[in-house]
């Protein structure tokens, strides 16, 4: 009897350059059934174009500020039935409304709250809502960035938001590792180098950072979305002894100090 096809949920596809879309491709290459989410109707045509007619890709809208419960309680069960179980979830979502126009010192209370709500709390709420659908041995993986642990120019309020996200990853790893007998849910983060994505273009000076990577990173190049996605797949499906960790996929840039 053939084993049941495994299912991955990838949250946060914006376009073909998204790390999230590279994750869709990585999981598909290993015969996973993949559901991906996009933000709203403005992104629907792009999402449906990416999905095409592939039988193992499903696209669902999800504005993480208020639709996460609907995604897990209604949309995913409607798609697969009540017996659906998720083997891996990848969270690739971040937003800060003033990141290009205000320094950290100038950040408003509203921008601080939105950055943490969208970039951090959405991962926590995702875990809360996904719990009834998680398969034993499944995993949750978040996307982070070096600005969570280092003071990066122009990263502004997103730095504290990503630091909070990595802290949530560690806390959830502790709680979910043994929340139910034999389930052993793992929670990790991947800190990706600066890629040429829609999200990265929202950061002033991103080209300068990418150029600096080519000069100072041990590998002397920027990484690709595919390299990040393949690491996420490994962490999510094969690295069964790893949880609560932030793994850097940045060509070694994060280990270097000085010119």
Q: Which residues are catalytic?
A: 145, 155
CA distances from 135 to 2, 124, 140, 144, 185 (A): 18, 18, 11, 24, 8
Q: What is the dihedral angle through the alpha carbons of 12, 239, 28, 75, rounded to the nearest 10 degrees?
A: -50
Strands 134-144 and 186-192 come out as parallel
Tokens of 158: 């997103």
User: What's the rounded Cα separation, in Å, for the pair 100 and 222?
Assistant: 23
As a whole number of angstroms, the longest Cα–Cα distance in the chain is: 61
Closest by Cα among 70, 42, 75 to 129: 70
């Amino acid at each position: 009897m053939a084993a049941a096809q495994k299912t991955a949920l990838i949250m946060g596809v914006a376009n073909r350059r998204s790390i999230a879309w590279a994750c869709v491709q990585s999981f598909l290459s290993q015969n996973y059934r993949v559901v991906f989410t996009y933000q709203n109707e403005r992104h629907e045509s792009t999402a449906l174009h990416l999905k095409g007619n592939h039988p193992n890709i499903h696209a669902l809208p999800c504005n993480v500020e208020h639709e996460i419960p609907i995604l897990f309680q209604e949309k995913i069960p409607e798609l697969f039935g009540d017996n659906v179980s998720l083997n891996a979830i990848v969270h690739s979502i971040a937003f800060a409304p003033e990141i290009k126009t205000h320094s950290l010192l100038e950040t408003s209370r509203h921008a601080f709250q939105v950055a943490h709500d969208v970039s951090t709390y959405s991962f926590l709420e995702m875990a809360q809502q996904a719990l009834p659908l998680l398969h034993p041995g499944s995993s949750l993986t978040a996307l982070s960035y070096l600005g969570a642990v280092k003071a990066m120019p122009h990263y502004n309020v997103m730095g504290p938001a990503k630091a909070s996200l990595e802290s949530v990853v560690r806390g959830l790893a502790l709680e979910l590792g043994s929340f139910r007998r034999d389930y052993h849910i793992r929670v990790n983060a991947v800190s990706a180098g600066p890629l040429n994505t829609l999200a990265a273009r929202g950061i002033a000076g991103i080209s300068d950072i990418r150029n600096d990577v080519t000069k100072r990173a041990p590998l002397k190049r920027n990484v690709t979305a595919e390299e990040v996605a393949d690491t996420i797949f490994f962490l999510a499906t094969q690295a069964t002894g790893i949880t609560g960790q932030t793994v850097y996929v940045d060509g070694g840039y994060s280990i270097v100090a000085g010119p």
